[in-house]
Amino acid sequence: MTHKQLDCCPMCGSKKSTSWCPVDGKGFKTVQCDDCNLIYVQNPYDKESLIDFYSNYISEIHQADSILNSQREKMYELELEFLLNFKNHGKVLDVGCSGGQFLKHFR
């Protein structure tokens, strides 16, 4: 997998940032913009690496462990129950929804 380097904040264009957490095991560097406070990955995968990563993501990574899948479904049920305390009608936007499993609970 190949990382590309972002030279500025994707939100405001500032070139000033501060490390937000240690570099993770896959080499991602997360920073916080000093101007708008957006937290973002400063060295995301390049386009080819993203295609490679996500081509098998659902089957090989996200759905590979049946115990984690069961735990994830329970977590979704708890999250839905919590959200319904505040809003019980309307539309939902789930940013970063992966395969949309959480959204299925809103039916």
| Average pLDDT over the chain, rounded to an integer | 88
Tens of pLDDT along 30-86? 999 999 999 999 999 999 998 888 787 666 666 667 788 788 889 999 999 999 999
Closest CA relative to residue 33, chosen from 67, 56, 8: 8
How far apart are the C-alpha atoms of 68 and 49, rounded to whole Å?
Answer: 25
Give residue 23's Cα distance to chain centre: 16
**What does the DSSP assignment read for 20-87?**
-S---TT---EEEETTT--EEESSPBPHHHHHHHHHSIIIIIISS-HHHHHHHHHHHHHHHHHHHTT-
pTM over 0.85: no
